């Protein structure tokens, strides 16, 4: 089913649904206990997809979401509103040594409410690696093709035929000049206005996020949604989870209150993303005989290169991410030195200000040139080479997750190549100056000078700012309980009625923006669960 | 390695040790007044740093400049209030430490109270943290960079000067 084109700032499907009587309850107003068929923790790509499929099978579903329910009427396209309301830690979530800043959604719809709509099927090289190195069968290209087709139809994922904005056009131009393969990105939009504010919540409901597709469908079928509610721990008896203990957050959505909520269910699904799902399992002290939970967490560590173009780029306007190049992935064997995907990001004032290096007069000069700023990002494909073990989710004293992601020489070698590649593309696209985003903050006016300097860059945590918008791994899928937390059907190897449906399932990073991989795998798993559970299994 | 650099590394190591144990100096509970995430000490430190981070961006006229600094400190306070309690506690530890005279002198090289610190002293402290060998000091720079520059450029007041038209008006 393709979504009807209702994209408009005058229609708010969430407020209409609430008016129809959806059961959406803020944590502080929640009952002390709920009894349902299925409890799902998280409302992002995995939780949303599972809620839709399981509610359609007639199961009574309850969703637990730590963030708030916000919708198009609230999406005012202002970073200062959007980041605190819709992102984990106001978009300032960090790894343990503060070396990586992570952009992760924290609202109904999760990352899908705030992502930039890039939709890639899981690359065949990634699936092949999962089969050969992780023994994962049933996840080949042909196995997943029908699931990709189904979710692509459901979410209107299609080629974007509008001309790219100037920021993305510069990537295409530079890559073409160098003879580097590049292509348009498919997007999950219906009737997109080409505004450029996807990262602050779509104000026209064109983005086919979980917020406007699967979650409304589940709520229309009577599902319950608890917002502002944190999942604290799963309580088990024998090899079964009996209840999920939650706590309501305060009105600001920041600190836990004393209001506790217990959700009893026949089946539990963890879908809080690759940082919060491992943390929930760790807090619950579930069996983990091989110490796998939270290990091998991947981020696509990403570095940034800015450039000044002779003409206005206006990177704040137009669909933010429409062109990509996989040249530096395709030309590298996945198990070797780190390859990277090249894309362009949106360029809004806060994101630009906190990304551009340095402070004072030199920083102010970059900012005054905001309209001429062109930016590329390189997303490193972590988790394939033996030297690329990713990070580890552990619990802090307050029970919250801390991701320790060591930045080592193997990673920085890839970072150096990525800076060089981006500078080369940007000069080929006509850049007057290129500024690799690094503490030195120097601007280069020719490629030779940039090459020399990048070759000599001191690369270290917080000297080389690294960002991530993709969290993956930590509860990997696989048949072997010595190497995987859940089996190939998404069920926990040691806890019978606990399942996982989010990016934490992946044995490595995806090597592409992960939303479509999560949708397809969650759809496949949830369809299997629905078949078993609706008959009382 | 010259002497200045040796001394700097030595103080850096001592500084890091002090910073790492700053949690012992005060309870983890936030001391700020109701409605604020930052206490008076933290506000004073941020106010001393805003003109350094925003040199070249703040208005030149003295009155508007003072208003802009006050508003930016308030926006930083609001941004901190939206952070998870664990991150608020870390920032509180940092500001508590920097408010203690020996640590202020050792880590920032600032001789007087923050409220009367010479702008050049504050500027050289910030520049030193940015390039410090000590990850903790670089992370302090990073946190202030993100908070202060984010607060300034998130406010429509800053947009004219950078050629950002603001979000489109969809209802017209």
Q: What ipTM score was computed for the predicted complex, to two decimals?
A: 0.95
Q: What is the pLDDT of residues B19-62, one digit of tens each?
A: 555 444 444 444 567 779 999 999 999 999 999 999 999 999 99
Decide if A285 touches B, using CB distance below 8 A. no
Assess if residue B106 is contained within a domain. Answer: yes
**Chain B nearest C-alpha distance from A140 (Å):** 40
Contact B93, B86 (CB under 8 A): no
Nearest to A348 by CA among A104, A88, A79, A114: A79
Burial class (CB in 10 A: 0-12, 13-18, 19+), A117: buried
Asked whether the predicted pLDDT for residue B7 surpasses 50, the reply is no
Is B146 in the A-facing interface, judged by CB distances under 8 Å?
A: yes
- Asked if the Cβ–Cβ distance from B167 to A76 is below 8 Å, we say yes
Residues of chain A with confidence (pLDDT) below 70: 1-6, 535-537
Radius of gyration of chain B (CA): 17
With 0-12 CB in 10 A as exposed, 13-18 as middle and 19+ as buried, what is A124? exposed
Confidence at residue A426, expressed as pLDDT on a 0 to 100 scale: 98
- Residue B78 falls inside a structural domain: yes
Contact between A47 and A215 under an 8 Å Cβ cutoff? The reply is no
Tell me whether A333 touches chain B (CB under 8 Å). no
Q: How many domains does chain B have?
A: 1
- pLDDT tens digits along A407-426: 999 999 999 999 999 999 99
Minimal C-alpha gap between B114 and chain A (Å): 19
| Residue B18 located in a structural domain | yes
| Chain B nearest C-alpha distance from A398 (Å) | 8
Identify the residue whose tokens are 């490629």: A447
Q: Which domain holds residue B82?
A: 3-27+40-158
For B87-139, the pLDDT digits (tens) are 999 999 999 999 999 999 999 999 999 999 999 999 999 999 998 988 889 99
Query: Does residue B134 lie within any of the structural domains?
Result: yes
Comparing alpha-carbon positions, the chain B residue that sits nearest to A7 is B170
Q: Cβ B158–A354 below 8 Å, yes or no?
A: no
Cα dihedral sign, A184-A186-A192-A197 = negative
- Look at residue B82 and tell me if it is in a domain: yes
**Residue B130 domain-assigned?**
yes
Q: Is B135 touching A (CB cutoff 8 A)?
A: yes
Domains, chain A, with CATH or none: 13-155+208-296+470-533 (3.50.50.60), 166-191+302-381+408-460 (3.30.410)
| DSSP state string for B115-136 | GG--HHHHHHHHHHHHT-S-HH
**Does A73 contact chain B (CB < 8 Å)?**
no
Give residue-wise pLDDT tens across range A318-360. Answer: 999 999 999 999 998 999 999 999 999 999 999 999 999 999 9
pTM, entire model: 0.95
Q: What is the pLDDT of residues B136-159, one digit of tens each?
A: 899 999 999 999 999 999 999 999
Quick check: is B71 in a domain? yes
Asked if B84 is an interface residue toward chain A (Cβ–Cβ < 8 A), one would say yes
Q: Looking at the partner chain, which of A353, A365, A439 has a beta carbon nearest the beta carbon of B153?
A: A353
Q: Does residue B136 sit within a domain?
A: yes
């Amino acid at each position: 089913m393709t979504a009807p084109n209702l994209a408009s700032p005058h229609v708010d499907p969430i407020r209409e649904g609430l008016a129809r009587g959806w059961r959406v309850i803020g944590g502080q107003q929640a009952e002390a206990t709920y009894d349902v068929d299925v409890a799902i923790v998280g409302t992002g790509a995995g939780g949303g997809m599972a809620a839709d499929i399981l509610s359609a099978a007639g199961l009574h579903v309850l969703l637990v979401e730590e963030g708030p329910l916000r919708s198009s009427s609230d999406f005012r396209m202002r970073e200062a509103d959007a980041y605190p309301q819709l992102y984990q830690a106001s978009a300032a979530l960090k790894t343990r040594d503060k070396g990586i800043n992570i952009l992760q959604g924290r609202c109904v719809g999760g990352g899908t409410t705030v992502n930039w709509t890039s939709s890639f099927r899981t690359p065949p090289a990634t699936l092949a690696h999962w089969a050969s190195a992780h023994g994962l069968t049933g996840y080949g290209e042909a196995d997943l093709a029908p699931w990709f087709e189904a979710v692509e139809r459901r979410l209107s994922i299609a080629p974007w035929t509008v001309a790219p904005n100037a920021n993305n056009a510069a990537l295409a131009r530079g890559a073409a000049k160098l003879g580097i393969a590049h292509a348009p990105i498919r997007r999950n939009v219906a009737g997109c206005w080409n505004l450029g504010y996807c990262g602050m919540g779509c104000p026209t409901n064109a983005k086919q996020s979980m917020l406007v597709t699967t979650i409304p469908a589940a709520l229309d079928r009577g599902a319950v949604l608890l917002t502002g509610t944190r999942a604290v721990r799963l309580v088990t008896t024998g090899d079964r989870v009996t209840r999920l203990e939650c706590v309501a957050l305060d009105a600001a959505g920041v600190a836990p209150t004393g209001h506790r909520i217990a959700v009893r269910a026949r089946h539990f699904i963890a879908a809080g993303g690759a940082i919060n799902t491992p943390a929930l399992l760790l807090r619950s002290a579930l069996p983990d005989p091989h110490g796998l939970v939270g290990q091998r967490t991947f981020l696509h560590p990403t570095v940034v290169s800015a450039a000044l173009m002779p003409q206005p780029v206006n990177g704040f306007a137009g669909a933010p991410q429409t062109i990509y190049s996989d040249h530096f992935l395709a030309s590298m064997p996945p198990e070797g030195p780190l390859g990277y995907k090249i894309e362009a990001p949106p360029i809004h004032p806060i994101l630009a200000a906190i990304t551009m290096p340095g402070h004072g007069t030199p920083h102010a000069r970059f900012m005054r040139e905001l309209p001429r700023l062109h930016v590329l990002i390189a997303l490193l494909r972590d988790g394939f080479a033996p030297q690329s073990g990713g990070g580890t989710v552990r619990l802090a004293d307050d029970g919250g997750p801390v991701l320790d992601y060591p930045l080592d020489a193997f990673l920085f070698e890839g970072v150096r190549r990525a800076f060089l590649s981006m500078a080369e593309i940007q000069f080929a696209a006509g850049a007057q100056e290129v500024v690799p985003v690094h503490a030195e903050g120097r601007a280069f006016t020719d490629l030779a000078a940039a090459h020399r300097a990048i070759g000599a860059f001191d690369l270290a945590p917080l000297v080389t700012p690294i960002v991530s918008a993709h969290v993956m791994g930590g509860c990997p899928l696989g048949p072997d309980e010595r190497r995987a937390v859940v089996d190939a059907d998404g069920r926990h190897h040691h806890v019978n009625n606990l399942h996982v449906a989010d990016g934490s399932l992946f044995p490595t990073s995806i090597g592409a923006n992960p939303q479509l991989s999560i949708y397809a795998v969650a759809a496949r798993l949830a369809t299997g669960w629905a078949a078993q559970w609706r008959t009382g299994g | 390695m010259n002497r200045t650099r040796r001394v700097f590394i030595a103080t850096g190591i001592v500084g890091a040790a002090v910073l790492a144990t700053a949690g012992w100096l005060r309870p983890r509970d936030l001391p700020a007044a109701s409605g604020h995430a930052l206490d008076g000490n933290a506000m004073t430190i941020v106010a001393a740093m805003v003109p350094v981070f925003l040199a070249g961006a703040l208005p030149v006229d003295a009155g508007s400049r003072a208003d802009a600094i006050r508003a930016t400190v308030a926006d930083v306070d609001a941004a901190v209030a939206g952070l998870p309690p664990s991150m608020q506690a870390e920032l509180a530890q940092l500001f508590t430490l920097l408010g203690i005279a020996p640590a202020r002198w050792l880590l920032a090289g600032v001789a007087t109270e923050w409220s009367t610190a010479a702008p050049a002293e504050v500027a050289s402290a910030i520049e030193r943290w940015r390039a410090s060998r000590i990850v903790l000091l670089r992370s302090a720079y990073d946190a202030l960079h993100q908070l202060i520059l984010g607060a300034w450029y998130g406010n429509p007041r800053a947009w004219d000067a950078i050629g950002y038209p603001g979000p489109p008006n969809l209802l017209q």
